Amino acid sequence: MKVGFIGVGNMGAGMAGRLLEGGCAVQACDLVPGKVQALVRQGARAAATPVHAAAGAHALIVCVVDARQSAEVLFGERGAAAALAPGSAVLLCPTIAPQDAQQLASRLAEHDLDPIEAPMSGGPARAREGSMSLMVACADAVFERHRWLLERLASRLFRVGTRWGDGARTKLVNNLLAAINLAGAAEAIALAERLGLDAARTLEVIEQSSGQSWIGSDRMRRAIAGDYAPRAHVTLLQKDTGLALDAARAAGFAGLLGPLAHEAFNRAAAAGDAELDDAALLRLFRQP
């Protein structure tokens, strides 16, 4: 089977590598040539534009940053949608607003394509090994037609509904909680240090106690070691918490912790850490 990828950053590259290992032909397109070449060395074919990534593909996986980029790579001047055969699957993996997911899926359906909302979670390593989560929203028939691809990509496959936009809604709820947990973990470790405790030893206690969270453990372990190499930039959770708060306002919901987490990521970005790994949130709470 031939699968096109548009966007082969940390998550896209992991998924593409997974499919290559399973015998799929992969056509990779990205604005950064080095990312494509890394996959070419694994057996992928370089695609100069989105339309080249889609040519002859049975499925297309879109792993760009936001809704604007998604619309451009699908329906722009060199957009991929026009090059796909009817019935081809298009996986929409970015974290975007529900209304944007609905609009993109509707336009894909007008092209006789099979839109599948598939926001992802778990990080690059899990994407590569196929153990990440996909939050899937699509018609039941579409899911069954393309189950082979979804199951190859993710062992944690969640059917969140058939309504377009429900994948985005689920991902925003998840990412808002992830941001709250990460901000709380960073604050707690910074407090431990201020109290004269050993940060690594304190994290070990937390990991076996009631304060444990996956994202807190994953990010604070890196932060304590001074490792801020970007796996997920600060700007991603800054964006996602903003989208989650927009969705909350549209639903008439006013939370307490979400706005505080969003403000923490805003402050970290303003402090110059926008392009660092979101583990860098610890640096914000270490400030006097």
Vertex 95, ends 47 and 273: CA angle to 5°? Answer: 90
Q: How far is CA 164 from the centre of its chain?
A: 18
Residue tagged active-site, from 2, 35, 171, 239: 171
**What are the phi and psi torsion angles at 46 (to 5°)?**
-75, 135
Dihedral, CA of residue 160, residue 124, residue 33 and residue 78, to nearest 10: 0
State the DSSP code for 270.
I
Is 171 in the active site?
yes
Amino acid at 36: V
Pick from 245, 244, 228: nearest CA to 282: 228
Dihedral, CA of residue 16, residue 88, residue 155 and residue 133, to nearest 10: 80
Alpha helices in the chain (DSSP H): 10-21, 33-40, 50-54, 67-75, 98-110, 124-129, 140-145, 147-153, 166-194, 199-207, 214-224, 234-250, 257-268, 281-286
d(CA 250, CA 266): 21
Q: How far apart are the first and last CA of the chain?
A: 55
d(CA 190, CA 182): 12
d(CA 101, CA 210): 36
User: Which residues are 92's β-sheet partners?
Assistant: 62, 117
Pick from 3, 34, 36: nearest CA to 18: 3
Residues acting as catalytic residues: 171
